[in-house]
Structure 1
């Protein structure tokens, strides 16, 4: 049996390469660059990086950036960051063709983002993102094709 890749405290690492939608590829395959597990960015840097990834169609990677921000966020912002990470996961499900999974995660994302103060911290466009997630849910239920541009929401108000 092959040894699992683990960090210094024994936690399993997932070092398998992944495709642009975050699906694992066989060992030795060429995947998209991975987001480091120990990513430490300011909130503004996290939002900027996640936006760049969303704009490239890499919602799974954007999720990893937003999840790192969520894990290090102060208590009063954690729900918002969780919602942002879930929004990226919901978009990943849309990209993968998993409409039922996408709708459920997008609904939870909207609920978490809605818990943010207004105006939301760090310029996050909470109301716009909630509307965006809800519009995607409606279109998924109606089986309406969603073009790639709609899967690149603006995280921060202009």
Structure 2
């Protein structure tokens, strides 16, 4: 997807508003012309296993904002029965993003919201996900954030699959 910048709003080929500013590793906009990290392409349909693999790679690289975009693709393109699970994962990734940016209130809130969604999951999770383990990670991280601990995205990245 390419975008253009015309001075008032960035637009994609179909005329929809799309921010074309470069972003840093935590998804913060940078000035036009600055070097940024590559953005995740939107609307990619992946298998659940590929979604988990790509998201884990991004989380391990300290790019939770980008992992959230991978989860969002799964949320929007996956089966109805799985959408709440992928949405909860996207919320935890955005929660980590906000916590790493220093937004403790928003980070903790989104981590807990995602944990609640993950805890509601019953049955076998797609892609080898460990919803209970991720929910525990998110609640623990939210508590650390509430206690004023400085969070870095790389050091705080979750394990999306259980270590069996």
Name the TM-score, length of structure 2 as normaliser: 0.88
- Structure 1's unaligned 5+ residue stretches are none
Are the structure 2 counterparts of residues 127 and 17 from structure 1 closer, same or farther at C-alpha, using a change threshold of 3 Å? same
- How far the C-alpha of 1:149 sits from its partner, in A, is 5.2
SS at match of 2:39: coil
Q: What corresponds to 1:133 in structure 2?
A: 138
Within the candidate set 87, 108, 113, 2:118 is matched to: 113
Q: TM-score scaled by structure 1?
A: 0.91
Aligned residues of 1:46 and 1:66 also touching (Cα < 8 A)? yes
2:161 maps to: 156
Residues 77-107 of structure 1, C-alpha deviations (whole Å, 9 max, x = no match): 0010001011110000111011111111011
In structure 1, the residue matched to 2:34 is: 29
C-alpha displacement at 1:121, in angstroms? Answer: 2.4
Structure 2, unmatched stretches of 5+, are: 1-5
SS of the aligned residue for 2:19 comes to coil
Question: Partners of 2:33 and 2:153 in 1: how far apart?
Answer: 29
Q: Which of 37, 54, 62 is equivalent to 1:57? A: 62
Assess, with a 3 A threshold, how the Cα gap between structure 1 residues 25 and 149 changes in structure 2: closer, same or farther. closer
What is the correspondence of 1:58-137 to structure 2 with a 5 Å cutoff?
A: 58-137=63-142
Judging changes above 3 Å, is the alpha-carbon distance between structure 1 residues 15 and 149 closer, same or farther for their aligned structure 2 residues? closer
Contact 2:59 2:67 in 1 (8 A): yes
Q: Is the 8 A contact 2:100 2:152 kept in 1?
A: no
The CA RMSD measured in Å over matched residues stands at 1.7
Could you tell me whether the CA contact under 8 Å between 2:61 and 2:154 is conserved in 1?
no
More helix by share: 1
